[in-house]
Structure 1
Amino acid sequence: MLKEFSYKQFGNIEFSKKAIEETTFNSIAEHIKILFISKNATIQVDFQEFTMETDTLLFINPKVIVKPCEIINGELIYFNRDFYCIEIHDQEVACDGILYNNVFEIPFIKLDDNQSKDVQAVIQEIKTEMNNEDSSTEEMLRILLKLIILKSTRIWKQQHQLAESTQHNDVQFLRRFSKLVEQHYKTHHTVADYAELLFVTPKNLSKKIGLISKSTPNDIIKDRIILESKRLLAHTKMTVKEIAYSLNYEDDAYFIRFFSKHTGLSPVSFRKQF
């Protein structure tokens, strides 16, 4: 179902192999999404396959490619920036919050039984509200959406041991780094570039990133470049040289060596697989 309020869009659909076969997902490719996935379901996220150990929420930016492999009763909530992100929100629960700007990991939120029941209850309220036509429907849907994001942000911080108020600054620093990588990975390729933007030393940057990630800042930056390379190879007709140039590599031979070193495949071989 889809609700439209002027330029604002909010919708909810089933997420399963059958639903994808019957629905044109291209129409919501540019929407921001929240996916509820049931335990034991298997999905592919940006070329990686995952099987859920628990009921799980996944927060999906428009560029992320998600496909169900084996999934039952998945629920996909989608909305455009006009519906939610144009509003003024607390940074932690906005569309540029840590759940949607997370270069450290794929933002899965594992839910225990009680948390899953709470989230499913909110999703059910959303589905009920989608059938209403009164003047408060838009605001009710926005409140319910924010509730899911708020609950999930709290769980994420607890799972990463960042829930204490004294560590608020650390969470915001991680969010800023993640957002900067997402904004500048095409032009800024070194740790020093991001340390300068954050007004810290490269050593201090590495220390802060170590709070939640086993990967170094350099690994995170390079992984983001590789991910974009994969997306362009799999989903566009750009040549390898054009992809290299778009990622600020003037020497396409260097880019090919870089890609091959990190993936074990040449760009051409990777493209053939997908």
Structure 2
Amino acid sequence: MGEPIKTYEMPEITNQRAFQIYEVQGKTIQSKTYPHETTRPHRHRYYEVCVFVNGAGRHDIDFESHVIHSNSVHFLSPGQVHLISRENDYHGYLMVFSRDFFALEAYHEDPLFQMPFFNNPTLIPILNLDPADFNELLVLILQIRKEYLQWNGFTSDILRNYLQIFLIKCKQYYMSYFAEQNKTMDPHFSLVQQFNALLEQRYKQVHQVQDYANLMGLSPANLNKYVRNITGFTAGEIILDRLMLQAKRYLIYTDLSNKQIAYQLNYQDPSYFSRIFKRKTGFSPSDFRRIENEKYQH
């Protein structure tokens, strides 16, 4: 089996390092302060925003491959497995930040779970913009980088507020660009976002639609109806897809056995887990692990 997936932490906690921004030109990141190598699929415990000025290459996110377009923004949440393959004429910026840095002043709900492109297994975390809209975001990026490079006692607060403005603008564009496709203007869209946030936090322990409906003060029938209307899938299908995604991650990026993976995901019967996995993917867990590892080794 290949080398297990690496999970990268933010560097040692300082106000400065709880947020970082890098300019990237060409195939590799030249900065010595960047927290990790990027030649193999990996994941982070922090958030990452990839701003592509000149798109050249491919971005693999959780077993889906995406062409990198110019004037685009890709959003990565903690735990997502990804790999950016850049070409020589690539140019862009990377912002990385911890959950605590962004949500320092949030006393109730986590504001990052209100962004449709973060922590959301049902929506693509990619925003391809027209040049005029992208330029508005690029102006913010350049101002953020300017503040970052002249760090002083006020910089953390300034960056936190700039980051909030940047992400809210991205949310505005995301909901505008995908309003019809993802029904972001539907009155139940925020409710489905709440379901996604609960799912991301509890999917290993909670598998039943009834339990999520109870947490949200809804009937299972209504939860299924609202989720299907927005996503095209029932709540039960979304739950199962999230479990199978985590199973794929375990199979490719850990040495856990099929039985151990089943227990990690709260399946008490490993043979039942294997049957469900094969029904959803077309492969047994062992075959999936072998085929995907051969792909990454090449």
Normalization by structure 2: what TM-score? 0.79
Please state how far the C-alpha of 1:64 moved relative to its aligned partner.
0.6
1:36 aligns with 2:51: yes
Say which of 237, 250, 261 aligns to 1:232.
250
Please state how far the C-alpha of 1:239 moved relative to its aligned partner.
1.2
Q: Give the SS at the match of 2:28.
A: helix
Query: After superposition, where does 1:59-208 map in structure 2 within 5 Å?
Result: 59-70=75-86, 72-88=90-106, 94-97=111-114, 98-158=116-176, 159-161=178-180, 170-208=188-226
Q: Give the SS at the match of 1:133.
A: coil
Say which of 42, 61, 74 aligns to 1:45.
61
Instruction: Name the % identity.
Output: 27
Normalization by structure 1: what TM-score? 0.86
1:12 aligns with 2:31: no
Please state how far the C-alpha of 1:14 moved relative to its aligned partner.
4.5
Q: Do the aligned residues in 2 keep the contact of 1:84 with 1:142 (CA within 8 Å)?
A: yes
Q: Give the SS at the match of 1:271.
A: helix
Q: Do the aligned residues in 2 keep the contact of 1:185 with 1:225 (CA within 8 Å)?
A: yes
- Structure 1 CA distance for aligned equivalents of residues 237 and 103 of structure 2: 30
Q: Which residue of 1 aligns with 2:3?
A: none
Q: Which runs of 5+ in 2 are unaligned?
A: 1-10, 294-298
Number of equivalent positions: 269
Q: Do the aligned residues in 1 keep the contact of 2:43 with 2:79 (CA within 8 Å)?
A: no
- Structure 1 CA distance for aligned equivalents of residues 173 and 248 of structure 2: 30
Q: Do the aligned residues in 2 keep the contact of 1:101 with 1:179 (CA within 8 Å)?
A: yes
Q: Do the aligned residues in 2 keep the contact of 1:11 with 1:78 (CA within 8 Å)?
A: yes
Q: Which residue of 2 aligns with 1:221?
A: 239
Q: Which runs of 5+ in 1 are unaligned?
A: none
Amino acid across the alignment from 2:22: I
Per-residue Cα deviation, 1:206-237 (whole angstroms, up to 9, x for no partner) = 23223431222222111100111111111112
Per-residue Cα deviation, 1:168-220 (whole angstroms, up to 9, x for no partner) = x6343122101111112112223222222222122221232234312222221
- Structure 2 CA distance for aligned equivalents of residues 173 and 219 of structure 1: 17
Q: Do the aligned residues in 1 keep the contact of 2:62 with 2:82 (CA within 8 Å)?
A: yes
- Structure 2 CA distance for aligned equivalents of residues 238 and 173 of structure 1: 35
Please state how far the C-alpha of 1:94 moved relative to its aligned partner.
1.8
Query: How large is the Cα RMSD of the aligned pairs?
Result: 2.9
- Structure 1 CA distance for aligned equivalents of residues 84 and 163 of structure 2: 23
The worse-fitting range, judged by mean Cα deviation, of 48-57 and 136-145 is: 48-57
